[in-house]
């Protein structure tokens, strides 16, 4: 819960910095744009009587932590200097990598007297300068994390289903298989190589991946795409992606 001292800091410092992020892929798929996000940030600030001194924008993957992004480092520097009392972004995934990252930084900013504003958190706006806003943020952030985990689980389940039923599940067929319409068909020669690799790895003293690569190269065994050289990483990749025939 926000302390009284922090509330006074937010009242005294109504300066805010906005943060907008988009990746090229997201813009292609969802039509998101940095100007749209900046407009929403400035419009929101007007309704809260907050002065936006600047909106940091960047085109970068959301898979990076805020401190790993150029614009994110700049934002953190501004907050650290206590030049602003508010940070505004459109959505949680625009500014943070994941829920843990969001909760950690939001709590740290609260202690410094800097409020976090997220314009759209499941249809509601969040302002952590209030007890209700802080509670809502924690609840919705947890719910968002749960939903992302469920999506990941469903994706893994769907992928495993396709593997189990020998259905095409990726752009290129894995070693030991070839594509035929929507199904995967065994390639006997490659399946024999996979069996041999497994045998070498299951010996009492398992053969190292690089040793296996050496043996395959010595035998002149071609790789999936007709290449003439196996590497340690190639052998491991084949085993990791292998489907039991």
d(CA 243, CA 175): 9
Q: Residue-wise pLDDT tens for the chain (245 aa)?
A: 444 444 444 445 789 999 999 986 665 455 578 999 999 999 999 999 999 999 999 998 888 889 999 999 999 999 999 889 999 999 888 998 877 788 888 889 988 889 999 998 767 788 888 877 777 777 766 666 666 677 778 878 877 787 778 887 777 888 888 888 888 888 899 999 999 999 999 988 899 999 999 999 999 999 987 778 999 999 998 888 887 75
Q: Please report the DSSP string for the chain in residue order.
A: ---HHHHHHHHH--EEEEEEEE-HHHHHHH---HHHHHHHHHHHHHHTT-EEEEEEEEE--TTS-GGGSHHHHHHHHHHHTT--SEEEES-HHHH-SSHHHHHHHHHHHHHTT-EEEEEEETTEEEETTSHHHHHHHHHHHHHHHHHHHHHHHHHHHHHHHHHHTTB--SSSPPTTEEEETTEEEE-HHHHHHHHHHHHHHTSSSPPPHHHHHHHHHHTT---TTS-S---HHHHHHHHHH----
pTM of the model: 0.56
Domains of the chain (ranges, CATH numbers)? 4-142 (3.40.50.1390), 177-241 (no CATH)
């Amino acid at each position: 819960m926000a302390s009284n001292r922090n509330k006074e800091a937010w009242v005294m410092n109504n300066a805010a910095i906005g943060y907008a992020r988009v990746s090229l892929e997201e813009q292609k798929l969802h039509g998101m744009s940095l100007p749209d996000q900046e407009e929403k940030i400035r419009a929101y600030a007007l309704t809260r009587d907050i002065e936006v001194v600047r909106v940091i924008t960047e085109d970068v993957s959301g898979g990076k932590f805020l401190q790993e992004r150029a614009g994110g480092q700049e934002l953190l520097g501004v907050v650290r200097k206590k030049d602003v009392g508010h940070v505004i972004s459109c959505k949680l995934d625009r500014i943070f990598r994941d829920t843990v990252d969001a909760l950690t930084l939001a709590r740290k900013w609260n202690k410094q007297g800097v409020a976090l504003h997220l314009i759209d958190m499941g249809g509601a706006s969040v302002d952590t300068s209030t007890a209700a806003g802080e509670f809502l943020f924690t609840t919705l952030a947890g719910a968002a994390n749960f939903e992302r985990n469920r999506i990941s689980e469903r994706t893994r389940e769907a992928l495993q289903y396709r593997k189990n039923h020998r259905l095409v599940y990726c752009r290129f067929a894995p070693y030991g298989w070839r594509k035929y319409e929507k199904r995967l068909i065994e390639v006997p020669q490659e399946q024999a190589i996979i069996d041999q690799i497994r045998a070498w790895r299951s010996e009492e003293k398992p053969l190292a991946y690089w040793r296996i690569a050496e043996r395959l190269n010595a035998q002149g065994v071609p790789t999936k795409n007709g290449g003439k050289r196996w590497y340690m990483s190639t052998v491991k990749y084949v085993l990791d992606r292998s489907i039991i025939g």
